[in-house]
Structure 1
Amino acid sequence: MTPSARLQAAIELLDEIIVAARDNGASGDNIAKRFFKARRYAGSKDRRAVREHVYTAIRRFGDRPENGRAAMVGLATEQPELQELFDGSAYGPAALTDSELRASGETIPDWLLDRFAALIDGNEQAVLFDRAPLDIRLNPKKGDAKTIEAAWPEIEALPLPNAYRLPTGTNVENDKQYNGGEIEIQDLGSQAIVAACLPSAPKLVLDMCAGAGGKTLGLAAQLPDDARIIAADTDRGRLSRIEPRLRRSGARNIVTVLLSPNKEEEALGPFKGKCDLVLVDAPCTGTGTWRRNPELRWRMTSKRLDQTTKLQARLLELASNMVAPGGRLVYAVCSLLDAEGGDQAEAFLKNHPKWRDIEVDLPIGRPYRKGTLLTPYQDGTDGFYFTCLEKL
């Protein structure tokens, strides 16, 4: 592919990502996989160049552009070398005109800026779009530090037990340590939330929004085998992805439960008031994961944020009903917005006098509004807010 053809391909791929973001469709990564699968003539250098154009545009513009061409024209305004590629050639984009739609604006949409946690200053905002690191978690029931340190001499130990960082781009999924269940890929922030769950020794654990089971497996790796762990979710596809991970990890104390949206309490009835620990890793806007998923900004609207916070409040209430007296509830979001973090925790505590927040002693994170805030700039993690609550 010529440089101009690569730019045109980037415009076409951006068109699909923009429509999906508007209509809450497939993720950009999945769209890109399908896009290149249908264009097998594109070599590895072509795919890499197209992706670079696409994700540079996604990171640059906080507001969703009208279309892929507007995104790339806006980028070309700031990168003059791109203007030459709008050459009207057979497979390239049409020549630029004075009346072109051009994407513009800041990296964070204006309507969102004042909704971030108070601690998110200019330094914090500047790294929200950096490339995320590759963190792994050692499964102490199947592996040991010496083995993985020998496998990757460049590995870096992180400040939580069993947490390590590898150079970005390291391919671990084809490695025997990964396939043998000795390690799992997991951001340090997610590992911190698991650590916050474990000062006590719970016998019955409910991971109420388990998804593909990353935190479920983290809990299983740390708890004794006689602890019973329930992994529940409303998304059948996401929940099904825990099965191969379970087989690799060797965990035998995890049971999956598929929930029906808005009818979760029916399936969770047997656990009502009996759980020593409930983890709610609630659905959220994902503002803390923009390093990995910058297109999430293009999916966000004030209406969707309002719908999400209402769902979070409902799930937090439901989770509280599952906790036994003296038990704990950990509420977490991969978001840096107050509406999804501190606001939720403080509103819950205000309306539930028989609950209290518990201070968590971790080597990372900052105390913030009845909980803990983790950020890319301060902690080198994805952005998270979590709170640990106890039922009196």
Structure 2
Amino acid sequence: MTPAARTQAAIEIVDAVIAAARSGGAAADTIVQRYFAERRYAGSKDRRAVRELVFAAIRRAGEVPASGRAAVLALAQDDTVLAATFDGSRHGPAAIDPDEPAAPAGAAPGWLLDRLAASGLGEDEAAALVFRAPLDLRINRRLAEPAEIAALLPAAQPIAGLPDALRLPHGSDVAALAGQVEVQDAGSQAVTLAAEAKSGMTVVDLCAGGGGKTLALAAAMENRGRILASDIDRARLSRLPPRAERAGVTIAETRLLDLGRELEALADWRAAADVVLVDAPCSGTGTWRRNPEARWRLTPERLDRYVSMQAQVLNVGAALVRPGGALVHIVCSLLDAEGADQVDHFLAAHPGWSAEPLSLPCGQPRGAGLRLTPSHDGTDGFFVARLRAPC
């Protein structure tokens, strides 16, 4: 592909991402994969260059751009080499009109910037939400030692306070180490520590998804005890058993739940768990470094649905906690509505429950919990609180 053809490809892909964001369609990564699956002539360098351009354009535009062309034009304003590819050639984009508008730069849509500001996040914090994320690993000590993995990955750096974590540059290939390491953001590793999981415990990972936190819990428990990993998403939950097998985890069992009927399926776990971890469905405002187009998909109405869903899941989780046990609320969101305010509402509705202080290797106090941000902690954004059930 010529440089101009790469630019045109990026424009077409961003157009598809914009359409998907408006309609609830596929994620940007999936759209990129589909685009090149239909264009086998594109080499690996072409695919890499186009992908870089696509995500750079997405990251720069806070509001949903008018078009893919407008989004890429915004990058060309500061890049003369890129601007030169708008040459009107056969496979390239048309020449730039001097009066042609480019997509304005920004960290997020205006309404979301207002919500972030109301949640105590300034402009610098908001801007860092779309910086490119590194690749973080959690070392599985059942199969490998940190020094052993570090020797295999000379570019890896340790992460303060997390002895089983390593950080690599974005795009590093660690597929050959599957099982020995798990790809997991340092923030995700840190907030999982709030469960204080120990050998022999009975633990529920209520919204387990693909099982990243389940495997981290099993490691903390030295593969002794019992973990129930449950979710309403069959496809995501189905990824856990093979991951657990590779990691040598034998204490985790899975259970598929029906939305709205969770407690029926979990009747045998009522008041049985030492700890219930609720990594609740949320807006994902803390994960924009990895999914920058997600900020184009979020609406006030969708946010309200997440807040309502979180309250319901916390109620389910509370019913599974034994007297004196703990409920850990985690969201990969920086909005108080899903974090500090959500916990306040839970405590007001559940007399006898209390919030416990947390001591984690990163994060800052926010309400009854801690909040991690890309700017302050160098991690994805999270809120976490540990709640104690009455005895």
Give TM-score scaled by structure 1 length: 0.93
**2:210–2:239: 8 Å Cα contact kept in structure 1?**
yes
1:269 to 1:199, Cα distance in 2 relative to 1, 3 A: closer
**1:18–1:64: 8 Å Cα contact kept in structure 2?**
yes
- Verify: 1:166 aligned to 2:171, yes or no: no
Q: Counterpart in 2 of 1:275?
A: 273
Secondary structure of the residue aligned to 1:210 is: coil
Q: Counterpart in 1 of 2:70?
A: 70
**2:107–2:127: 8 Å Cα contact kept in structure 1?**
no
Give TM-score scaled by structure 2 length: 0.94
**1:233–1:259: 8 Å Cα contact kept in structure 2?**
yes
Q: Counterpart in 2 of 1:140?
A: 141
Task: Identify which of 208, 211, 220 aligns with 1:210.
Answer: 208
After superposition, the CA RMSD in angstroms is 1.9
Q: Counterpart in 2 of 1:95?
A: 95
Q: Deviations over 1:155-207 (max 9, x none)?
A: 32221231222333321112xxx23x222111111111221111666622111
Secondary structure of the residue aligned to 1:164 is: strand
Cα distance in 1 for partners of 2:360, 2:224 equals 26
Q: Counterpart in 1 of 2:40?
A: 40
Q: Counterpart in 2 of 1:286?
A: 284
- Consecutive unaligned residues in structure 1, runs of 5 or more: none
Cα distance in 1 for partners of 2:45, 2:19 equals 26
TM-superposed deviation, 1:224: 4.0
Select between 119-128 and 91-100 the one with higher mean Cα deviation.
91-100
**1:115–1:339: 8 Å Cα contact kept in structure 2?**
no
Question: For residue 169 of structure 1, what is the amino acid of its counterpart?
Answer: G
1:302 to 1:257, Cα distance in 2 relative to 1, 3 A: same
Q: Counterpart in 2 of 1:329?
A: 327
Cα distance in 2 for partners of 1:5, 1:35 equals 14
Q: Counterpart in 1 of 2:104?
A: 104
Cα distance in 2 for partners of 1:72, 1:225 equals 49
Question: For residue 246 of structure 2, what is the amino acid of its counterpart?
Answer: R
Secondary structure of the residue aligned to 1:327 is: strand
Q: Deviations over 1:41-76 (max 9, x none)?
A: 111222122112211110011111233223223443
**1:202–1:277: 8 Å Cα contact kept in structure 2?**
no
TM-superposed deviation, 1:97: 4.3
Question: Identical aligned pairs, as a percentage?
Answer: 50
- Consecutive unaligned residues in structure 2, runs of 5 or more: none
Secondary structure of the residue aligned to 2:85 is: coil
Question: For residue 37 of structure 1, what is the amino acid of its counterpart?
Answer: A
Q: Counterpart in 1 of 2:375?
A: 377
**1:75–1:103: 8 Å Cα contact kept in structure 2?**
no
Matched ranges for 1:238-277 at <5 A: 238-277=236-275
How many residues were matched structurally? 388
Q: Counterpart in 1 of 2:346?
A: 348
Q: Deviations over 1:85-112 (max 9, x none)?
A: 3332211123344775642252221111
